[in-house]
Amino acid sequence: MRVIDLIFSLKSGCFGKEEDIRKKLELSPSEFNGLLILTNENSIPCSLFSNKMGLSVSRGSRVLDKLIRNGYAAAESKSDDDRRIVKIKLTARGRKTKESILKSLDDCEKEISKSFSAGEIDTLHASLDKIVKILIRK
């Protein structure tokens, strides 16, 4: 089997795991990814959120609007002079949901790690990191 075929199989398996988590938590793909971008500690500007999501500011704003509507995030205006400058932070519901996502991802990581020695995990990590750099051209 070619390396690219293995990568596609891996991608499919990862999407399946992500879909399972999303269905369990009743999240859309954009909500899932948005919750992973937002941090528990700080609020971030909409423009930075959009950039981290790889979206235009207008599309990022729509994702944020959905997160706010569904109670996962809250907007806080930081400027009385320009109300377009808004920062977003996770709500208690958003923090709890993000913790559930991270726990599911950690469980998946543990399941994978059980089949490898520590040295194999290090080699796997280095190999995957190299593949990511090649495919994304970073």
Query: Which tokens sit at 100?
Result: 């559930």
pLDDT at 110: 93
Here the contacts of 100-109 (C-beta below 8 Å, separation 24 or greater) are 100/25, 101/21, 101/25, 101/32, 101/35, 101/36, 104/20, 104/21, 104/24, 105/21, 108/17
Sorted by where each begins, the domain ranges of the chain are: 3-136
pLDDT at 25: 93
- Mind listing the pLDDT tens digit for each residue in 36-71? 999 877 788 888 888 999 999 889 889 999 999 999
- Mind listing the pLDDT tens digit for each residue in 66-87? 999 999 999 876 655 555 567 8
The CATH class for the domain spanning 3-136 reads mainly alpha
Length of the chain: 138
